[in-house]
Amino acid sequence: MRVDLGGIRMKNPVTVASGTFGYGAEYAKLVDVTRLGAITVKGIRLQPWSGNPLPRHVEVPGGMVNAIGLQGPGVEGFARDYMPFLRTTGVPVIVNIWGTSEEEYAEVARRLSEVEGVSGLELNISCPNVKEGGNAFGTDPRAVSSLVATVRRATRLPLMPKLAPNVPDIKLFVRAAQEAGADALALINTLPAMVIDIETRRPILANKVGGLSGPAIHPVAVKLVWEAAQVARVPLLAMGGIVGPDEAIEFLIAGASAVAVGTANFIDPTTPLRVLEGIEAYLRRHGMNSVAALTGSLCMTNPATNVEP
């Protein structure tokens, strides 16, 4: 079940999506986090950040729309308050990082490179909930290329940009990121969304708009992963609407090397482990001896990814 996600050595292909699992400790009493392939933590910038006003979420059919706004403790706070527990898990820690300038991203990467136990960086270039940073970088291939190159120079940690789904051609972004030095790619982030209270005629979220997650976005994510896989030379971490093994297996078939469970953690925190067991059972049932055998195995006349088995 081992997977090498661009240098992040996972004992199995299942992690959690940034922002849905806190810093690992929050869920540790409910689920055996040591069984995860990796723990991906909530977005971190250089300094502590307070996020958006409330309400920060609203439930919608098939998922939810959130606008948390990347509240976080900053690099120092994260290293001090959260890394000690994460180190005890023995599981690779992927830190989602963001900033409002290329320099900030690079500085966060530089500092996290010196923190023991950090296994890789997920570059958040696609959060729909902060004006600067996030999506401002993620929807322009030249900005992605420049940002990834800058961060690349700041760290030797595996670098995994998280791509925005709301772009006309995902392949441009895959190429831009990998040519600039990305070791892996994560997709997809939430889809920009809005919900209106028809009685007050006001947006429900204080931030007005947010990001849609949950089963509603899964087919969108599958299509984007499949397209990305056609040009990707680096492994893909897929996420978006996984609620059980089936959605995860779909992602692997579409071309992903690993998967992340997001919103479903809120409903059933054991989802990542159910997904893991389901993938294992599927591989056995189909006589496959590795996750890599499943990756990109979609039966169509399109090239599979170049992931090493």
Partner 1 sequence: MMKDVTCRVIGQVPLTAGYWALDMEAPGLAEAAQPGQFVHVRVPGLEPIALRRPFSIFGAGGTTLKLLYKTVGRGTAQMNRLAPGDSVQVIGPLGNGFPLAPQGEPLLVAGGYGVAPLAFLAERLPTKGVVLIGGRTADDVLAVAAFERLGWIVRVATQDGSLGETGLVTVPLDRELARLREAGVTPELFSCGPDGLLRAVGERAIQAGCRGWLSLDKHMVCGVGACLACVQRLRREDGTEWIGRVCRDGPVFEAREIVW
Among 268, 280, 282, 288, binds partner 1 (CB under 8 A): 268
Rounded to whole angstroms, the Cα distance separating 186 from 190 reads 12
Question: Choosing from 127, 163, 205, 232, which is the catalytic residue?
Answer: 127
Rounded to whole angstroms, the Cα distance separating 30 from 182 reads 34
Under rule CB under 8 A, residue 166 binds partner 1: no
Under rule CB under 8 A, residue 98 binds partner 1: no
CB nearer partner 1, residue 27 or residue 137: 27
Rounded to whole angstroms, the Cα distance separating 252 from 218 reads 13
Indicate the helix (H) or strand (E) that contains 265. Answer: helix 264-267
User: Which residues are registered as beta bridge partners of 4?
Assistant: 9
Tokens 């527990």 belong to residue: 85
Among 63, 134, 141, 165, binds partner 1 (CB under 8 A): 63
Under rule CB under 8 A, residue 135 binds partner 1: no
Residues 9-38 that bind partner 1 (CB under 8 A): 19-22, 26-27, 29-30
Q: Binding string to partner 1 for residues 276 to 295, with x set by CB under 8 A, is what?
A: --------------------
Residues 6+ apart with CB under 8 A from 45: 70, 72, 74, 75, 97, 98, 99, 100, 104, 108, 133
Rounded to whole angstroms, the Cα distance separating 230 from 301 reads 11
Q: Nearest approach, Cβ of 26 to partner 1 (angstroms)?
A: 4
Which range of residues in 48-56, 107-115, 135-143, 186-194 is near partner 1 by CB under 8 A?
Answer: 48-56
Which range of residues in 110-118, 141-149, 232-240, 267-275 is near partner 1 by CB under 8 A?
Answer: 267-275
Helices 102-113 and 141-154 pack at an angle, to 10 degrees, of: 30
Which range of residues in 79-87, 93-101, 261-269, 284-292 is near partner 1 by CB under 8 A?
Answer: 261-269
Residues 6+ apart with CB under 8 A from 84: none
Among 214, 235, 245, 272, binds partner 1 (CB under 8 A): 214
127 tagged catalytic: yes
Under rule CB under 8 A, residue 215 binds partner 1: yes
Tokens 């609407």 belong to residue: 241
- The answer to whether 254 and 226 are in contact (CB under 8 A) is yes
- Token couple for 101: 């300038």
Under rule CB under 8 A, residue 212 binds partner 1: no
Q: Nearest approach, Cβ of 263 to partner 1 (angstroms)?
A: 7
Which residues are catalytically annotated? 127
Binding site for partner 1 (CB under 8 A): 19-22, 26-27, 29-30, 42, 50-51, 54-57, 59, 62-64, 66, 68, 71, 214-215, 243, 263-270
